[in-house]
């Protein structure tokens, strides 16, 4: 049994700091590195890739919409080809820092509103998949477990890492419970632990309505932009490892 812990990294910009990358990096295995559109800049990217390398963490591109003001979290209308080309641009930019650091690019995970759109919109999913495939068909695409994008990417022959959020509740249909629902975010670390262990033992989670739902997954996402992120990352990692589950970068065979 094995899994991967991924986290958004390198989301600072110029003099602005977001996240505690130095504290979180030791506990994760895959870093989704912002590429300068929704967050990140060339200096930050260079530093983030170096930090990931130091900790043996897999490096992935985390492309978003060109909307620093909205942090890539709000919907932006795009015309055909724009999502694909936005992603190509950002993968390439990050790849230059990986190359410069002697690190192989491992994965791509779209950010924020682009991630959410691709999870359910056919055109967006297709453009995400095309961008990854044409850049390098060996790259792993990280996407929401059970989503349209996960299905389409598999069908297209891409390696897919299906993602689960250990501190989030799920609906009966396997989709994330929206943050607006009571109980959507699980704040108690003990409860997070229990759910994780159950998921690994049984392949199932209890939905927000109390049903048992099956969830196939390849990577766990920890959010890096709240102060306690590194502690949650550590808790998750220790819980998994003390239960005999190997936590390794998704790209390691």
Instruction: Report the interface residues with a copy of itself, using CB under 8 A.
Output: 13-18, 36, 41-43, 45-46, 66-71, 73-79, 81-82, 85-86, 88-97, 99-100, 113, 134-136
Question: Which CB atom, from 100 or from 243, has the smaller least distance to a copy of itself?
Answer: 100
Please state the closest distance from residue 46 (CB atom) to a copy of itself, in A. 5
Closest CA to 26 of 167, 197, 252, 229: 229
Pull the structure tokens for residue 186: 């699980």
- Shortest approach of a copy of itself to residue 48 CB, angstroms? 12
- Closer to a copy of itself by CB, 10 or 146: give it: 10
DSSP 26: G
Minimum separation from the CB atom of position 2 to a copy of itself (A): 31
Backbone angles phi, psi at 165, to 5 degrees: -105, 110
Q: How far apart are CA 171 and CA 246, in angstroms?
A: 28
Q: Are 142 and 163 in contact (CB under 8 A)?
A: yes
Q: Which is nearer to a copy of itself, 5 or 52 (CB)?
A: 52
- Closer residue to a copy of itself, CB minimum distance, 69 or 182: 69
Nearer to a copy of itself, 180 or 242 (CB): 180
CA-nearest of 54, 55, 41 to 10 is 41
The label of the residue with tokens 């897999």 reads 58
Q: Are 234 and 19 in contact (CB under 8 A)?
A: no
Beta bridge partners of 62: 34
Nearest approach, Cβ of 170 to a copy of itself (angstroms)?
Answer: 25
Neighbours of 219 (CB within 10 A): 24
| Smallest distance, a copy of itself to C-beta of residue 23, A | 17
């Amino acid at each position: 049994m094995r899994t991967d812990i991924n986290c958004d990294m390198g989301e600072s910009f110029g003099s602005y700091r977001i996240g505690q990358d130095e504290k979180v990096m030791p506990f994760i295995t895959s870093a989704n590195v912002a590429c300068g559109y929704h967050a990140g800049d060339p200096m930050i990217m260079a530093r983030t890739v170096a930090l990931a390398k130091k900790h043996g963490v897999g490096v992935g591109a985390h492309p978003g919409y060109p909307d620093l003001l909205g942090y890539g979290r709000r919907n932006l209308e795009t015309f055909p080809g724009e999502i694909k080309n936005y992603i190509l641009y950002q993968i390439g930019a990050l790849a230059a820092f990986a190359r410069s650091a002697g690190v192989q690019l491992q994965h791509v995970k779209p950010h924020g509103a682009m991630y959410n759109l691709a999870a359910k919109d056919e055109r967006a999913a297709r453009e995400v998949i095309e961008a990854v495939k044409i850049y390098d068909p060996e790259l792993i695409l990280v996407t929401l477990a059970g989503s349209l994008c996960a299905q389409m990417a598999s069908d297209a022959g891409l390696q897919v890492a299906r993602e689960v959020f250990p501190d989030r509740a799920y609906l009966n249909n396997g989709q994330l419970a929206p943050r607006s629902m009571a109980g959507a975010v699980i704040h108690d670390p003990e409860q997070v632990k229990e759910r994780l262990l159950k998921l690994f033992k049984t392949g199932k989670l209890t939905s927000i309505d109390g049903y048992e739902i099956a969830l196939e997954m390849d990577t766990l996402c920890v959010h890096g932009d709240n102060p306690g992120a590194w502690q949650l990352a550590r808790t998750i990692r220790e819980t998994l490892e003390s239960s005999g589950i190997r936590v390794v970068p998704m790209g390691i065979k």
